[in-house]
Structure 1
């Protein structure tokens, strides 16, 4: 019965993906579904998404949070640009709802409060902080997230007690100069050449090689239809990755130093600088231990693998960085996922969602 309802949720979300901060119908669907199942969900006041409390939140009781992300990516699928669930958020939501259905009415809820959070906007890295501003995190002791893992990280039927994501950041900016006639290159600085120097200088950034990191230009738009114009303007974007928050801060510092140098050397303006990013994981050992025990209880010792270290990112980790006392970690679920996360035709073994639900359920039972 629970499996059928999880399948129903998954199929609806997969067929009706919505982009970050636009998850209006998704929020309404989850809200109605939970209402029909006898829960009392609450929509967030200022953002899409919702949460639902079950159990006993009396003072002195342990409060555990469980988080699902609900937004989809925007990508080209078979020649059509559209919202698409290629990161598994439809599966995450289904597993969390399955956990709610399984724990409903359990005697454990007499001494434990559980807050199920359906978070928007993970894909753009702003959802977690927005949820925190709704004031629903402060009273929690534990917080568990879940994410499907690709085959190269976890075999189907296996699970990891944490996902140690790296920090990710992007810097967008505009090289602002003047155009010039193709016959008069001395009258301006070619934005393409300026951008080329930025790319070359980025490759010369050398920081501690023991901690994985990378920086590269991922967007460069300059010039137009008239090829006899030397462009003075370019729109640029840089992607930064680092396995620790300290390494990311150092990397960003070097990038901004390069941009300042370019401004001075070429006498151009670097304008409209926009920076965004997500932090690296700072998982709590108590949460890792809780999830590990729950994996062993459900799958057995041989199916519990070490924490997964990945250069990918997830805004879930804002919760533990913003609230240092919060015991948080993400369950990494092996599910035969291929060819990879964010591939437009990503597939996985749907039956693995039962493992994820059972582990999350067991974690609630195991919390003290």
Structure 2
């Protein structure tokens, strides 16, 4: 019965994807679904999404959080640009609701409280921060997330007790100078040549090679239809990756120093700098141990993988970075996902949904 209900939620979510911070109908659907199932959900006051408490929140009881992300990506699917659940958030939501349905009348809830969080805007990396601002994470002792894993990391029937994501950052900025006539190159600094020097200088950044990191120019727009104008302005973007938050801070410092030196060298301005990013995982060992035990309980010891280290990112880790005392970790679920996360035609074995919900259920029971 639970499998059928999860399938129902998944199919609805999959057919009605919504972009980050636009998940109004998704929020309404989950809210109504939970109300009809006998729960008392609460919508967030300042953003899309909602949460729902079950169990006993009396003093002395452990308070456990379980998070599902609810937003979709925007991408081209079969020639049409649209919202699309190619990262598995529809599956995450269905598994968390499946967990709720399974634990709803469990006697174990007399000795613990559980807060189920349906978080918006994971894909833009700020939804977790919005939830933190709502204050609903403040009283949690444990916090568990879940994410489908590509087949290269975990096959169907296997699971990992944590996903150790890296930090990711994007820096947008403008090179601001003056245009000049193509016959008079001495009258300005060619923004394309300035950008080329930035690319070359980025390639000379050398930091601890033991910790994976990378930096590269991923956007450069300069010039126009008139090819006899030397462009003085350009719009630029840089992508940064690092496996630890400390490595990311060092990488950011080197990049900002390069741009500062470029300003002085070429007498141009670097303006409208806008940095956005997500932090690397800082999982808590106690939470990892609970998930490991739960995987073994459900799938057997031979199906429990080591923590997955990946260069991808997830804003779930803002919870533990912002609140170091919070015991948080993200379950990695094998499901034969291919050809990869964010591929417009991503597929996975739907039978894995039952495994994910069962492991989350056991994790709630295994918290002491």
What TM-score do the two structures reach when normalised by structure 2? 0.99
Residue 261 of structure 1 aligns to a residue in which SS? helix
Deviation (angstroms), 1:49 = 0.3
**Residues 331-346 of structure 1 correspond to what in structure 2 (within 5 A)?**
331-346=331-346
Partner of 1:215: 215
Partner of 1:121: 121
1:172 aligns with 2:176: no
Residue 206 of structure 1 aligns to a residue in which SS? coil
1:68 aligns with 2:68: yes
**Residues 308-323 of structure 1 correspond to what in structure 2 (within 5 A)?**
308-323=308-323
Superposed structure 1 runs of 4+ greater than 2 Å apart: none
Partner of 2:356: 356
Deviation (angstroms), 1:367 = 1.0
1:28 aligns with 2:31: no
Q: Return the alpha-carbon distance in structure 2 between the equivalents of residues 335 and 187 of structure 1.
A: 60
Over aligned residue pairs, what C-alpha RMSD do you find? 0.7
Deviation (angstroms), 1:276 = 1.0
Cα deviations across residues 46-86 of structure 1 (Å, max 9, x unaligned)?
00000000000001111000000001111122222211111
**Residues 178-193 of structure 1 correspond to what in structure 2 (within 5 A)?**
178-193=178-193
**Residues 14-25 of structure 1 correspond to what in structure 2 (within 5 A)?**
14-25=14-25
Cα deviations across residues 293-321 of structure 1 (Å, max 9, x unaligned)?
00000000000000000011100000001
Cα deviations across residues 309-345 of structure 1 (Å, max 9, x unaligned)?
0011100000001111100000000000011111111
Alignment size in residue pairs? 368
Q: Return the alpha-carbon distance in structure 1 between the equivalents of residues 4 and 191 of structure 2.
A: 57
Partner of 1:291: 291
1:201 aligns with 2:196: no
Residue 51 of structure 2 aligns to a residue in which SS? strand
Q: Return the alpha-carbon distance in structure 1 between the equivalents of residues 121 and 11 of structure 2.
A: 20
Residue 172 of structure 2 aligns to a residue in which SS? strand
Residue 315 of structure 2 aligns to a residue in which SS? coil
Cα deviations across residues 23-46 of structure 1 (Å, max 9, x unaligned)?
111101100111111100000000
Q: Return the alpha-carbon distance in structure 1 between the equivalents of residues 289 and 205 of structure 2.
A: 37
Partner of 1:250: 250
What TM-score do the two structures reach when normalised by structure 1? 0.99
Partner of 2:5: 5
Partner of 1:271: 271
Partner of 1:96: 96
Q: Return the alpha-carbon distance in structure 2 between the equivalents of residues 25 and 263 of structure 1.
A: 47
Residue 168 of structure 1 aligns to a residue in which SS? strand
> Which 5+ residue runs of structure 2 have no aligned equivalent?
none
Deviation (angstroms), 1:274 = 0.3
Deviation (angstroms), 1:254 = 0.1
